[in-house]
Amino acid sequence: MKDLNCILAGLTHLLGPLLLLILWHKKTHAKLLPAPAALAACFPVFILGNAIRSGFDQSSPIFFYIQQGLLFGVLEECLKFMMLRFALSDYDAREDAVTYGIGHGAYEQILMAFTCFGLVGKGTAGAAISAIAVLSVIESALSVSATTMMILYGIREGKTGKMLTAAIAFHAAGNMSMGIFIDPVANTITVLLTTAEVYIAYRCWKAMQLPEMHDDETEQRL
């Protein structure tokens, strides 16, 4: 039964982002390109991040996780800014930010999928691993899409410095908490951070809405 749960968890991590992308596309007609573009862009950035992290002093676990959180917070959120500002400048609708977020978050979900598959036959996985995988896919998509929305809002409204800093701070805090604290404290902090991110992203979404243009924009989506 544990092996089956590991396989189900792995498939959830692997296919969950794709399912979310399909559902989002059907609901909003958002363009699809930002998702694979985000996923592809993550590979060199994560390789760079892991190379830098390998040189960190691990004698103090807390300091190590603080450094790690800041490192990946800066790298990943600055990557989003560069992609949205330059590489995907034609994909600047609110819906596209969510699409990009789903693609970006898929990178870690793929890694988690192979981790789950690697647990098959070892008998070390908990019974709730498949349920946790579902929550992980949803929380990751919400968090990453929310910070992406903040950055898009900053670009469109001339508030890049403020919103990019906020996205980095949220990302770093979430990363740090998962390393420094144990469950259920870490999960509680993660839920609180994600809730705050989603609220701010929702405010950004509403602020970017142009009622007189929204219907025409929706009709023109691919």
- Which tokens is 114 given? 């192979």
Output the average pLDDT for the chain. Answer: 93
**Residue 87 DSSP class:** I
CB distance 107 to 46 below 8 Å: yes
Q: Find tokens 């830098």 and name the residue.
A: 52
- Which tokens is 74 given? 């800066």
Please classify residue 184 by burial: count the beta carbons closer than 10 Å to its beta carbon, then call 0-12 exposed, 13-18 middle and 19+ buried.
exposed
Structure confidence at residue 213 as a pLDDT band (50, 70, 90): very low
Give the pLDDT score at 20.
Answer: 98
Structure confidence at residue 2 as a pLDDT band (50, 70, 90): confident
Asked if the model's pLDDT at residue 27 lies above 90, the reply is yes
Structure confidence at residue 212 as a pLDDT band (50, 70, 90): very low
Structure confidence at residue 220 as a pLDDT band (50, 70, 90): low
Contacts of 173 (CB under 8 A, 6+ apart): 69, 189, 193
- 3-class state of residue 58 by DSSP: coil
CB 84: neighbour CB atoms within 10 A? 23
Look up the pTM and report it. 0.92
Asked if the model's pLDDT at residue 218 lies above 50, the reply is no
Give the pLDDT score at 106.
Answer: 97
Mean local confidence (pLDDT), 188-199: 97
Instruction: Please tell me the number of Cα atoms within 13 Å of 206 on its side-chain side.
Output: 5
CB distance 201 to 150 below 8 Å: yes
- Which tokens is 93 given? 């609708």
For the ranges 1-5, 20-24, 110-114, 196-200, the lowest mean pLDDT is seen at: 1-5
**Residue 158 DSSP class:** T
